[in-house]
Amino acid sequence: MLPKRLRTGHKGIFGTVLGVGGSRGMAGAVALAGRSGLVAGAGLVRLAIPDPILETVAGFYPELTTLPCPADEKGRFSQTALEPLLNHLATVTATFLGPGLGRSAEIDLLIPLLLREILCPVVVDADALNTLASLGTEHFNSFFRSLGNKNIILTPHSGELARLRGLPTPDEEDKESQTERIAVAKDFAEQHGVVLVLKGHETITTDGNIVALNPTGNPGMATGGSGDVLTGILAALLAQGFVPFDAAKTGVFLHGLAGDFAADRLGEESVTATSILESIPEAFQTFRKLQNKHQ
């Protein structure tokens, strides 16, 4: 259920999201995630980004605030970004990690350190998932056991989930059936104490106990940046007080619905991440109408 927007509400009531991502050449990913967080109802979105891309990211959307962080010579996060990031974590209600992050040895150290310190709900996507996969299966499993019961949503596609499990990326002809995907996702979520969003046709959302299959979405959404838009929506719902499983299944539904509206207008071939983002308001309005009808 989407919460009512109180007449007396202010941006603090609707939550603050801290997004950690971006690198030289991939500034758009974190900007898409940030903007979708705002359109999905968060009161404030602050993007922590490497300093060299500050002007680029700030120039995408004026509503986003930015936190420039130390960077390496290639425009990616330096490990010394940890201190400013930790300083800001205490002021936010939800976090996302990963869009446009890139890969480096310093990032591979930074992301696990951040996850240990984050107390608010967090969405882990894209290169943040690949960083965790680089821990190796044994260390990955022990790392998540050490985190305890944190509110974490992981959003891999099949290839990323295979890497997290220490398996090779499946070939097209070796892809698992939906029944197998559900079993794997459920087992993974239960074992690691996370909410898992396994992206793909009929995206699977599970907390290891309950499984939700998403009925919305279309092939046009298989386009660069679509997952970044989903990440922003999920973080916004977490910031507004949704528990992780409800945020995940609702956000996945709304994201797919926005993609369907975009495809209806443009045709599946012409759907882009931006057109999905621009369709989020229509998805929310439709969802509220359905919600009011069944109350």
Got the DSSP string for 235-246? HHHHHTT--HHH
Q: 59: part of which helix (H) or strand (E)?
A: helix 54-60
β-pair type (204-206, 211-213): antiparallel
| Beta-bridge mates of residue 122 | 95, 152
At 47-104, the pLDDT tens digits run 999 999 999 999 999 999 999 999 999 999 999 999 999 999 988 999 999 999 999 9
pLDDT per residue over 120-149, tens digit each? 999 999 999 999 999 998 899 899 988 877
Contact assessment for residue 229 and residue 32, using Cβ atoms and an 8 Å cutoff: yes
What is the pLDDT, as a whole number, of residue 145?
Answer: 85
CA distances for 293 relative to 71, 160, 190, 288, 289, angstroms: 50, 38, 34, 8, 6
**Using one digit for the tens of pLDDT, what is the confidence trace for 182-226?**
999 999 999 999 999 999 999 999 999 999 999 999 999 999 999
Give the residue with greater pLDDT, 154 vs 4. Answer: 154
**Is it the case that residue 173 has pLDDT exceeding 70?**
no
| pLDDT(9) > 90 | no
Looking at the predicted structure, is the pLDDT value of residue 294 above 90?
no
**How many angstroms separate the CA atoms of 240 and 216, rounded?**
23
* Burial of 241 per CB tally in 10 Å (0-12, 13-18, 19+): middle
Return the SS3 of 2: coil
The percent of residues above 70 in pLDDT, for the chain, comes to 99
pLDDT of 115 > 80? The answer is yes
**Strand blocks (E) in the chain:** 16-20, 44-50, 65-69, 94-97, 122-124, 152-154, 195-198, 204-206, 211-213
Residue type, 61: Y
pTM of the model: 0.96
Give mean pLDDT, residues 249-254.
98
Query: Mutual orientation of helices 82-89 and 105-117 as an angle, nearest 10°?
Result: 20
pLDDT band for 176, please (50, 70, 90 cuts).
confident
Give residue 12's pLDDT. 77
- Give the pLDDT score at 172: 63
Q: What is the mean pLDDT of residues 232-245?
A: 97
* pLDDT, mean over the chain: 94
Q: Which domains does the chain have, with CATH numbers?
A: 16-293 (3.40.1190.20)
d(C-alpha 284, C-alpha 286), whole Å: 5
DSSP, res 7: T
Per-residue confidence band for 44, with pLDDT thresholds at 50, 70 and 90? very high
Tokens read off for 127: 């290169």
CB distance 64 to 35 below 8 Å: yes
